[in-house]
Amino acid sequence: MKHLFIIATGNKGKIREIRDIITDPDAEVLSMREAGVEADPDETGTTFEENALIKARAVSALICQKTEDGTLSFDPTDTQIIVMSDDSGLVVDALGGEPGIYSARYLGYDTDYNYKMEQIMKRMEDVPEEERTARFVAAVAAIFPDGTEHVVRGTMEGVIAHSINGQNGFGYDPFFYLPEYGKTSAEITEEEKNEISHRGKAFRAMIALYHVWCAENGSLEEASKETSGDGTAQ
């Protein structure tokens, strides 16, 4: 039996990150487009978890539909299908959790991130150092082969810096200071970030949950070797 992870994203960076995490020899990772489906539902949830589930459900529904009409790009009869999606964002304590689930939309989808970060730093000019705490949050939702839904959360703690530094990463990384590295998350390497990132933690926790599911449902031979975790990844 093969294990096909279909990721509800078009983001190549996320797919690469997940392929690095899922190393089981009988597992394959495909973006939704590679699997022959495309979904872009409105993120109408009020939490990261709800929005991640909305995306996973939308892709899962399309996969079911295509399984019925026989137009999938793979053979579902010898394949366990797991649909996964994530929703993430930046939570700034001094701003009451903003931009939160609106991180991508904050000040406009197409607005330059340097401008978004400058505006946040401006709003925080009078915030004392010890209150500049923030975190990146990622919720990963999955629909397992038996239709059960699972959601886990990962976080990466940091501090909002006073300036923008670094070329790596994306989005809000250049002003997200990691005290233990003495650098922003745009100044550490991609490998370093994947090790500690909210998304990396949440995807690893979800894979651990899937290994537990496989151990209980008698598949994925390697499952028990790596199985650990209770679904939390703080």
- The site for ligand IMP (CB under 6 A) is made up of 86-90, 103-104, 136, 169-173, 197
Cβ neighbours around 226 below 10 Å, total: 14
C-beta of 102 vs 149, nearer to ligand IMP: 102
CB of 204 to ligand IMP, least distance (A): 15
Separation CA 111–CA 152 (nearest Å)? 30
CB of 137 to ligand IMP, least distance (A): 8
C-beta of 60 vs 103, nearer to ligand IMP: 103
Contacts for 11 with CB less than 8 Å, ≥ 6 apart: none
* 222 to 99, 207, 227: CA distances (angstroms): 40, 12, 9
CB of 212 to ligand IMP, least distance (A): 25
Separation CA 109–CA 202 (nearest Å)? 25
C-beta of 87 vs 187, nearer to ligand IMP: 87
C-beta of 89 vs 145, nearer to ligand IMP: 89
Q: Is 87 annotated as catalytic?
A: yes
Q: Residue 36 — left, alpha, or beta (φ > 0 → left; ψ -120 to 50 → alpha)?
A: left
212, 218 in Cβ contact below 8 A? no
Contacts for 154 with CB less than 8 Å, ≥ 6 apart: 137, 138, 140, 197, 198, 199, 200, 201, 202, 203, 204, 205, 233, 234
Tell me which residue has its CB nearest to ligand IMP.
171
Q: Choose, from 87, 110, 126, 146, the residue flagged as catalytic.
A: 87
CB of 67 to ligand IMP, least distance (A): 27
List, by residue number, the catalytic residues: 87
